[in-house]
Each structure stands twice: as structure tokens, then as C-alpha cells.
A and B are shown apart, each in its own frame.
Chain A
Amino acid sequence: MAIRRAMSGRLTARTEVLGVRSMSSWWRGMEPAPKDPILGVTEAFLADPNPEKVNVGVGAYRDDNGKPVVLECVREAERRIAGNLKMEYLPMGGSVKVVEETLKLAYGENSELIKDRRIAAVQALSGTGACRLFADFQKRFRPDSQIYIPVPTWANHHNIWRDAQVPQKTYHYYHPESRGLDFATMMDDIKNAPNGSFFLLHACAHNPTGVDPSEEQWREISHQFKVKGHFAFFDMAYQGFASGDPEKDAKSIRIFLEDGHYIGIAQSYAKNMGLYGQRVGCLSVLCEDEKQAVAVKSQLQQLARPMYSNPPLHGALIVSTILGDPDLKKLWLKEVKVMADRIIGMRTALQGNLEKLGSPLSWTHITNQIGMFCYSGLTPEQVDRLTSEFHIYMTRNGRISMAGVTTGNVEYLASAIHEVTKSA
């Protein structure tokens, strides 16, 4: 008792001397935040000692040995860059070279729109940063607007527009029964939305479902957007990675451009150049003319300045080195196709294995879907069983990252899935 009193006496004296008003924290009542669902999966996987464990959680590419990959074109670019004499600030809008080359990928190598300088574009912090910049821009200059987001979508899309304080609505997208696109209801939602609504579209390889509209469906969507005067914002995180052909993967965007829409695009080099941690991407907004593009770009920079001032240099140097050298660019395109082909091969193998095991369910959606992810249709309870009984890690929405599937684990994965679904 005496000790406690003495201590509290000492504390009080200390408080008086130092003027620290109270001994409790300002953050006393703060709740711990919930763990990020996607990144939390990898954390759990890493903590698991079981030798059979399989990580089909996070969307980062793995080779057939389950190892992360640094592309050869990237290694070569880094060799050339190392010893670079400058580490000066990039302009607020980022590397001009990176932006130029990135626009060519999305809008077309010989796009008139690029020649006419009608595109306001800035280098951004990968896809996340590009979406966030656009959301902030939308909030500032179309404060009355909302964003329509597909169901389901990458979870962080909701966070981004919420933090930008842009109200959200959803539109139907995935059709659980067919494990495909709910096209009819999606079109209804597009028609019923107020004229001039803002829509988030996945340009290709929809995350998390892998379900993309067909070309004909894209044309119908574009037409309806024209009728309604909607604004299309494309998130293109997987160009080249979906079909293996970047031109093919940009088809949705090209259709909208042909139809005369003023679109916005978020592009990322995280997956297709394997530059994940370098955070390289691009935000572009198509404008009426060069003057407007200059104005819009200047405003995008005004939003970037109080967020990070200017984007990181290293990843930008890698991109501009590769895309600025015809041989390196060719090598890159080859390496992208290898990655895409391996994933397509794993889709075929997984579906084949499940059918061979005599699964009562249909698994054709595995090869119908495209890109890194497969929306398996597994329920959260089935996913939990896969984790606890078979040490297979994926997000509870049943999303399988096909990049984590290898010839070494595809049979194990198939039999585990078969085990938890055979009596479904």
C-alpha cells in the first residue's frame, strides 16, 4: 500500500514537473482494426508448418515451382539502371516516358487520341493509387456523383471510394448459379441508374470472379452507356495477363473508345510486369481536347501533391527502360504470355482433375473464367474445411488464385476440393 502511494505520489510529482496532463493515452478507447481479409490469408499460410500447405490466396504470380518470379526483362532493366546518376524527384505527374508508353498499351500504339494529346494522364501508385486519385478527382469535380461498383469486386475498391467520400452503389455482375455473368440484371441496373452515373468496370480478368463479358456483351454495355450518358472508369490491372495478348485484353476499352466515350483508366504494372512492390501504375482521363487535358492533368497533380508529392522513381525507370527498348519490350511480351499460358494450363488441369475424380458438380467455369482468379463457388464453410483439414489457403469467398496452382499441387488441390464438395 505504502509502495503504491509512494509511486502515485511520484507520478503526481512527475506530472506536475513535466506538465504531462494525464497519464492515459489519447488513443485509449481505440478499437483494433479488423485484419485485411486478403493479406491475412498469406499471414496465416506463412504461419502454418504443414508441408502440404498450398497458398491460393493472394494474387501474386508464382511459377510452376510455386516461387515468385522476377521477369528477365526486369532484371536486365535493373542492371542497366543500377548506378543511375540521379535520384532526383520525378515531376508531380511522374515519368513522362512511362506515361507515354502506358497510354499506348491502353489506347493503342498509334492512337489518334494520344497524337491529339487529348488524354490527361499521370503516373500513379499502381492500381490502388490510380483508382484513389480518380476517386478524389471525382469527389472534387463531380461532388454530386456516386460510383457504381460491381458485385463482387476487389474489396479495396469499396475502401478507396469510401475514403474519397464518394457515395457507392452496386450493380449486379456475378451470377452464382451459372458461375458466370448475370448479364440481364447487369443491363437492367445500367438502364435504371440515373443518367450520367459513374461506373467502375474491370477491363479484363475480373477480380475476384474471373468472369468477363464477351465482346458482343461489351458492345451492348457500351451502347447502353451512350444512351444513358454514363461515365465508364476502367480498372485494368491484368492487361496481357488474361489472354496473353495485351491488345486482346484491352478490347473492352477499345470498344468504348470507338463509341466515343470519355473514359478514365487505372493501369497497373504490378502483375503483368511483376513489379508488385515497386508501385507503378497510371491514371488517365480522356478529354475533349488538348486544352482540357492540360487542365485535368494539372488538377490531378494538385491531388497528388498533398498525398505523396511525386511518384517513386525506381519502378518508373524499369518500365521506361523496358518499354522504350524494342527488344526488351518484345521479351516482356513473351514473358507475359508465358505467365498467362501457365495459368490457362492450370485451369485446364484443375478442371480435368475434378472431372476425373467424378465430381457431381460442374466445373466448366474454371476454364470459362479468365485471369488470375477463379471463383470456385465454394462456400465459406467449405473454404474453412479446406484450410483446417487440408492446409489450403484462400479467401473465404471461394476465390482461388490460379497463379498459386502448380503441376505439383493441382492434384492435391483437386482432391481436397472434391472431398469438401462431393456431398454438396
Chain B
Amino acid sequence: MRPELTSSSPSPTDRRLSALVRHLASASPLMESQTAISFSATASFHGESVFSHVVRAPEDPILGVTVAYNKDPSPVKLNLGVGAYRTEEGKPLVLNVVRKAEQMLVNDRSRVKEYLPIVGLAEFNKLSAKLIFGADSPAIRENRVTTVQCLSGTGSLRVGAEFLARHYHQRTIYIPQPTWGNHPKIFTLSGLSVKTYRYYDPATRGLNFQGLLEDLGSAPSGAIVLLHACAHNPTGVDPTLQQWEQIRRLMRSKALLPFFDSAYQGFASGNLDADAQSVRMFVADGGECFVAQSYAKNMGLYGERVGALSVVCKTADVASRVESQLKLVIRPMFSNPPIHGASIVATILKDRNMYNDWTIELKAMADRIISMRQELFDALRARGTPGDWSHIIKQIGMFTFTGLNSEQVAFMTREYHIYMTSDGRISMAGLSSKTVPHLADAIHAAVTRMS
């Protein structure tokens, strides 16, 4: 069976087919006897790859910002894209206490590099649970919490979601509108179906509380709800404690299952306990919940991928069974988690002095960001930039949702070399006292010249 071939073969398919034909023509007699060979898409001869149909995936929008920034030769360029902390000098930061912990680990010749257990470093798990739930948490005392070490926040969310897709009766998760871009992908790939609930109100640049209550109120009983524990990404808009209490009541009355993403504990307000209030409220009522923790930002351990998934259960027996099932999710994904970052965290959390040193450095990072917010707000006011910019100081955490639209953002990039995501989100961590005036000028120009 030979396909019709024209003398000019413009299409890739034709070119591939000619390659196949040429290959077969020079093949051994053994091959020619294999009349079962067809030109079906599943057959792979060494002329064509079985993955030749794979198309290039779109660039990650957030990382694309840094790529563009790197290409720009302007001396006044500013990268306000990716959410990694920068010092006043615009440099990445390794915390002193982290460096100290790492040195201790390296110098300890008795340490080996064996596999961790599937659930990770036990000490790390216990300390992580204490950190988010509070050392005196009844759930911990009653052994109702299972904690497994995972690859930062992403990995914790993924393991939790895969578990839910397998063992939970409701396969729908509600995520806030907007949310971190990776959230929907994580849940979809885990086998959950993703719906949204209203969250951000562009008109006020604050929380659409009414919409949130309505949407969660109309969710089916038992649905999973993703909650940002603090410092909502990308908006920086958090519910007040009173609002959290209302959310809690509503969720418990409908048996909605809370899944907290805690990526900024201590980084938002500068106080670890304050930033954990939302989570602790839900644990205090005796109900169940999932919590994904990350140490990427608050310990500056970004690339070491340190995180934990905790599941708070009704009884110790259930917690132990849940843990055994979590292991079955983890083993075929990565077998056991990386040891280095977790060892650093455990070293710091269990030593009173190092823990204190950490809280001081953490507060310094949070304070710097809070002061950047104030400086930007003051700078816009000083310029008389039209609009209400108070959301800059009301929002919390690493990001500000400026409210700028994509044309204004493009203008700021073009004319002022400001690099940020097109949704108007800026990473406050990328600002310094020196660069705030430039950003304020850019925003002012964008708002007055392009509305």
C-alpha cells in the first residue's frame, strides 16, 4: 500500500510519508514480510517520532515577565513580576538564620543522605503542624492531625487534591476569583472539577463579601473550598476576622470542606500567629480541614521546595488511616520528599534562639513591604494621581492589585520600563525607596494619559 505522492511535497505529512517510504524501500526482506505494518499514527518508525504532533506550550505569563525584563537594557527598569522577596538593594535574600542552619547541617559529618520516609522528615512535620495550628492546638494534642512533607505549596496542594479526588465524595473545588494561576491546573490535573466563587471587587479594589457568601451559599453540600489563609495572591485582599467568622459559619452549615493555602504565614502582618488566625478558627470548631503550607517565602527557601500538607481529622484513628492513604499518593509521584530544605526548617524551628532570630528577620521582610506600600501610596498622593489609592495600604502581603488595566500596564512597560503582569499585579517585594518615585511617575502617567 503506497500513498500517492506529488513531486512537490509541501506539507509536513507528505514529507514524513516520503521519509517513511524511502525507509521502507531500503529495508531488509525481514521488514517487507511484515505486511501488518501500516501508516497509522501509532506506528513509529525511526523516521518519525511518536510525539511529533506535540505543539509548543504557551510561555508561563509570570515567568515571561522576567524574560522580557532581562532583555531590556534600560538602567531604570523595574521587575515587579515574580513573587520573590528582594532587599532594599533589589537583591534576593538568604536569611542569616537559614545560612547558619545550613552550615550546621553541612558541618555535621554524621549526617547521611538516605531516603526520608514517604511522609518526609518526622520532626519537620510535627514542627510545621505546630507552626500553623499553634503549639497548644487541641487537634494536635488529640493526635487528630496528619502532616506529610511535600514539595512546597504546589506539591502540598497537589497531594491533597489527588487524595480528595480518590477518597472524597465531592469532586468539585471552589476557588476564588481571581487566584494564583497555578491553582486551577493543580486541581484539574488531580481529577477535581474547578468552579469559582466571587472574591475581588474591582470597583472597591477590596473584597466582594456579598458575592462570596452568595456563591459559597449556593455551592453543593460537601464541596471543597480553597481559601487563602492570608495575603491573598494576587490581590492582597484578605477578609477581616469578623468576615472569616461568617465564612466559617456558612461553610460549616453546608459541610463545605476547607482547603487552606498558607504560603505567607508571618510574611503578611509580620506576626506568625496573627497570619494563622483564619486556619485556627476553623480548627477550633472541631471540624476537619486541609492545609497546604509553604516555606518558600517566609523562610526564603524558594528553590529547596519545602512544604507540608496537614489534614485535620475528627479522630486519631481516622488521621492515621488518612496518612496511610496519602502515602499511596506520594509514592508513585516522587517516592519521598527532598531532605535538605526540611532539615533546615526543622533545625530552626526546634531551637528557641534560632526560632526567635527567624521571627525577627521575617518581621523585617514584612515591615519593609508594608513600608513600601506606604511610600507608594504617599508618592501617588503627592503627585495628585487621580483615583483612590488607599487599597495599596489596605491590601496585605507581597502583592498589590493596582487596578490598572492591561493597556495601562503595556504603556508603563513601554514608556517607563516597568515589568509586571498584565492583570495589574505588582510585587511590592520588588520595590525600594529609591525606585518608588519612578513607579509612582509611571502609574501617574498611565492613569492620566490612558484611562
Contacts and interface: CB of A to CB of B under 8 A. Distances in A.
B57 A299 contact: yes
A261 interface: yes
Contacts of A274: 113
B252 A307 contact: no
Contacts, number: 278
B337 interface: yes
A314 B158 contact: no
B182 A18 contact: no
A132 B338 contact: no
B352 interface: no
Contacts of A299: 54, 56-57
B152 interface: yes
Best-buried of A39, A60, A145 by chain B (most CB within 10 Å): A39
Contacts of A68: 112-114
A35 B111 CA distance: 27
Given A129-B334, A278-B340, A279-B338, A308 B304 contact: no
Contact of A20 (B51, B94, B99, B286): B286
B314 A24 contact: yes
Interface stretch (A78-86, A240-248, A374-382): A78-86
Contact of A25 (B98, B115, B304, B313): B313
A23 to B, nearest CB: 7
B52 A292 contact: yes
B92 interface: yes
Contacts of B288: 25-27
Contacts of B42: 142, 144-145, 194-196
A49 interface: no
A141 B53 contact: yes
B92 A141 contact: no
Contact of A307 (B50, B92, B155, B249): B155
Interface string A251-276: 00000000111100000001000111
A227 B23 CA distance: 12
Interface stretch (A88-96, A172-180, A334-342, A355-363): A88-96
Contacts of A78: 106
Chain B facing A: main interface SS: loop
B48 A27 contact: no
B37 A126 contact: no
Interface in A108-131: 125-126, 128-129
A60 B313 CA distance: 35
A33 interface: yes
Contact of B50 (A128, A196, A279, A302): A196
Interface of A: 14, 18-28, 30-33, 35-36, 39, 58, 60, 68-70, 74-75, 78-79, 82-92, 125-126, 128-129, 132, 141-142, 144-145, 156, 159-160, 162-163, 194-196, 226-227, 229-231, 259-262, 270, 274-279, 285-288, 292, 294-296, 298-299, 301-303, 305-315
